[in-house]
Amino acid sequence: PVMMRRLLVPLAAAALAAPAALAQRGDRPRGPQAADSLIALAQHTARLGDTSRALELLEGATRAAPEYAPAFYQRGVLLSRASRLGFGDVMQRRSAGNQLERALQLDPDNPRYLVELGRLRLKTPFLRIDAERLFSRALKAAQRS
């Protein structure tokens, strides 16, 4: 299994890099499939520790499919998880919130999106009540689906 993994990881990375390479050449693949490829590559890149590159890939995913909620959600999650509690990362949290809110505009009753936005609100002073409201809304949405 370990040997197989060593062989498959580079192959998967190469396959996922194709949409990114096309995007750099100017031949931008469009649509949810292109966005999914960029999201997968961004997640792999983030696991390797390159958050900046992962954010660039996710931005590419949002451009490739501007009406595709998962691209905005994933970018918001990465920005949110990289921020800290308090006033220090206000701009990053604001950007994360914008991404998550866009995902919610596209998919309004997605419980995962609501929970993530609530988690982000918990990191922001004075927004804990809003977080509680989002968690309640997420629970109701999950129960409906």
pLDDT of 8 higher than 90: no
The answer to whether 65 touches 35, Cβ cutoff 8 Å, is yes
pLDDT of 6 higher than 70: no
DSSP structure class, residue 27: -
The closest alpha carbon to 35, from 11, 12, 58, belongs to 58
The answer to whether 97 touches 76, Cβ cutoff 8 Å, is yes
d(CA 22, CA 109) in angstroms, rounded, equals 34
pLDDT of 4 higher than 50: no
Distance of CA 32 to the CA centre of its chain: 14
Output the CA angle 130-78-113, nearest 5 degrees: 45
The answer to whether 49 touches 15, Cβ cutoff 8 Å, is no
Q: pLDDT digits over 95-115, tens only?
A: 999 999 999 999 999 999 999
**Could you tell me which residue, 3 or 75, shows the higher pLDDT?**
75
Give mean pLDDT, residues 27-33. Answer: 82
Identity (one letter) of the amino acid at 68? Y
pLDDT of 17 higher than 60: no
Report the predicted TM-score, pTM, of the whole model to 2 decimal places.
0.71
Name the one residue in this structure whose structure tokens are 């990191």.
123
d(CA 82, CA 59) in angstroms, rounded, equals 16
The closest alpha carbon to 62, from 50, 49, 78, 48, belongs to 78
CA distances from 139 to 102, 115, 118 (A): 20, 9, 12
d(CA 66, CA 32) in angstroms, rounded, equals 9
Q: pLDDT digits over 113-137, tens only?
A: 999 999 888 877 677 778 888 888 8
Q: pLDDT digits over 58-84, tens only?
A: 999 999 999 999 999 999 999 998 876
The mean pLDDT of the chain is: 83
Picking from 31-35, 75-79, 85-89, 100-104, which range would have the lowest pLDDT averaged per residue? Answer: 85-89
